[in-house]
Structure 1
Amino acid sequence: MLDLEDAKLKKRSVTISGHRTSISIEQCFWRHLKRYADTDKISLNEIVRQIDEARSRSLSGSIRAYVIQRLETESTQKITTD
């Protein structure tokens, strides 16, 4: 069953290169972003900084795209190892 609370936008504060900013992003994307920061052994602020540096659109949209790309990579890797 879909958890609609998980899909609601929530405003988050982050620091990018010493500047505080806020991002409105769904909890499900934030949860995966935190997991990727842990996996990569970097802080949330650092992973957001890296995404911000590479982006060509809104930061929240870029975070969503990053999470989807990582999920797709994980899915592909799982299929090839099964």
Structure 2
Amino acid sequence: MLEKLSFSLSGHRTSVALEPEFWAALSAIAEAEGVLLSALVTRIDAERAEGRPLASALRVFALSRGGRGG
């Protein structure tokens, strides 16, 4: 089941639905980097390739980091 969280990105609210395991991995990465989850999501949003959905970018980022913050 997907878990939906809301963020303010580029001046507008958006919701992202991911599996709880991805949210847990992203939260662990954010904690390891000393930033809020919202700040990490904002950074990933700004760096994602044009046309790539945010949910996909978040999943790829989490997988690339192994959920351990680098």
TM-score, with structure 2 as normaliser: 0.84
- Structure 2 alignment gaps of length 5 or more: none
For 1:31, what is the secondary structure of its paired residue? helix
The within-5 A match list for 1:39-58 is 39-56=32-49, 57-58=52-53
The structure 1 residue matched to 2:14, chosen from 21, 29, 32, is 21
What fraction of aligned residue pairs are identical, expressed as a percent?
35
Structure 1 residue 71 displacement after superposition: 0.8
For 2:34, what is the secondary structure of its paired residue? coil
The amino acid of 2:32's aligned partner reads: T
TM-score, with structure 1 as normaliser: 0.73
Structure number with greater Rg is 1
Query: Which residue of structure 1 aligns with residue 27 of structure 2?
Result: 34
Q: Which has the higher contact order (CA 8 A, sep 6+)?
A: 2
Q: Which runs of 4 or more aligned residues in structure 1 lie more than 3 Å from their structure 2 counterparts after TM superposition?
A: none
